[in-house]
């Protein structure tokens, strides 16, 4: 299920743009869902197959909510749509950072995760820009993927020099990337939605299609929060990889 995609111009995910993004991530073996706290928002994800067997996956969280944040997601959408990722994701990240610094003068920033997946090798290169909500569900456990903690979010420093990390998932692994709105959402009792609860849900559905797992997650999340409104935009992406590889 895909809802309220930050990738569309108004953040609502209506029309062909939302369906295009849904088809792209499904073609890569994944599923995603995004929901805004204020009708339009600052969560954003996009998947691009930039050449045969090569995929670029991005999930971003713009500071703030509402119209101001959604304007930046629209800019990100446009920049990603015209960039040729055969030139590498790091030059693109530097270009986006330069634009944000010049335009917003550090008043707006974006935490982000960019992943470059190579089907031929099973290798995933990750550039984590102050985001850190990147997990691997393996053998019943939710594991945090350790990434370079020196990368600042986009839009803070004109001298950003992003670094990458590399890993190789196993076929049974689920890659799980989220924005903080998911695990910071409280219910009516003030309890926050937890990774341990998500891990238990994944454990009960690990062999199911990723679309089913994403649907069950959305159902459980809404059941947990009950009548409590969303405190922030909420986005996640799930991916399962086909190649038999080992973690680096």
Q: How far apart are CA 140 and CA 49, in angstroms?
A: 30
pLDDT at 103: 92
Average pLDDT over residues 199-222: 94
What are residue 240's phi and psi, to 5 degrees? -120, 135
Domain boundaries, position 129: 16-240
- The reply to whether 69 falls in a domain is yes
Asked whether the beta carbons of 49 and 55 are under 8 A apart, the reply is: yes
Q: Is residue 247 part of a domain?
A: no
Residue 229 exposure: Cα atoms within 13 Å on the Cβ side: 6
Q: Give this prediction's pTM.
A: 0.86
Which residues does residue 56 pair with via DSSP β-bridges, in sequence order? Answer: 48, 116
Percent of the chain whose pLDDT exceeds 90: 60
Query: Quick one: pLDDT at residue 5?
Result: 34
In a domain, 3, yes or no: no
- The CATH number given to whatever domain includes residue 186 is 3.60.40.10
Does some domain include residue 151? yes
User: In the predicted model, what is the mean pLDDT of the chain?
Assistant: 86
Q: Has residue 107 been placed in a domain?
A: yes
Mean pLDDT of all residues in 36-45: 85
In a domain, 145, yes or no: yes
In tens, the pLDDT along 120-139 reads: 898 999 999 998 899 999 88
Each residue of 76-96: pLDDT tens digit?
Answer: 999 999 999 999 999 999 999
* Range with the poorest average pLDDT among 17-21, 104-108, 201-205: 17-21
H/E element, 237:
strand 234-240
Q: Quick one: pLDDT at residue 146?
A: 87
Residue 188 lies in a domain: yes
- Stronger pLDDT, 17 or 143, i.e. the higher one: 143
The dihedrals phi and psi of 103, each to the nearest 5 degrees, come to -80, -40
Confidence of residue 240 (pLDDT cuts 50, 70, 90): confident
What is the pLDDT at residue 98?
96
- Per the structure, how many domains does the chain have? 1
Give just the sign of the alpha carbon dihedral 101, 102, 106, 108: negative
The per-residue pLDDT for 117 is 93
The answer to whether residue 205 is domain-embedded is yes
């Amino acid at each position: 299920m895909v809802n309220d995609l930050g990738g569309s111009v108004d953040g609502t995910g209506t029309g062909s743009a939302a369906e295009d993004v849904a088809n792209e991530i499904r073609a890569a073996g994944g599923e995603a869902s995004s929901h805004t706290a204020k009708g339009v928002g600052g969560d954003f994800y996009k998947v691009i197959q930039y050449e045969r067997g090569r995929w670029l996956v991005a999930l971003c969280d713009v500071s703030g909510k509402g119209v101001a944040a959604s304007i930046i997601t629209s800019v990100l959408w446009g920049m990603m749509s015209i960039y040729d990722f055969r030139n590498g994701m790091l030059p693109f990240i530097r270009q986006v950072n330069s634009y944000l610094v010049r335009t917003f003068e550090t008043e707006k920033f974006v935490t982000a995760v960019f992943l470059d997946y190579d089907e031929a090798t099973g290798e995933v290169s990750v550039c984590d820009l102050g985001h850190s909500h990147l997990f691997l569900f393996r053998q019943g456990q939710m594991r945090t993927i350790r990434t370079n903690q020196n990368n600042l979010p986009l839009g803070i420093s004109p001298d950003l020099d992003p670094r990458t990390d590399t890993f190789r998932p196993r076929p049974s692994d689920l890659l799980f990337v989220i924005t903080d709105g998911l695990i910071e959402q409280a219910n009516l009792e003030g309890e926050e939605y937890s990774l341990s609860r998500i891990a238990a849900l994944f454990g009960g559905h690990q062999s199911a299609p990723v679309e089913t797992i994403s649907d069950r997650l959305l159902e459980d999340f809404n059941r947990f929060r009950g009548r409590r409104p969303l405190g922030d935009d909420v986005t996640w992406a799930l991916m399962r990889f086909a190649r038999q590889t080992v973690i680096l």
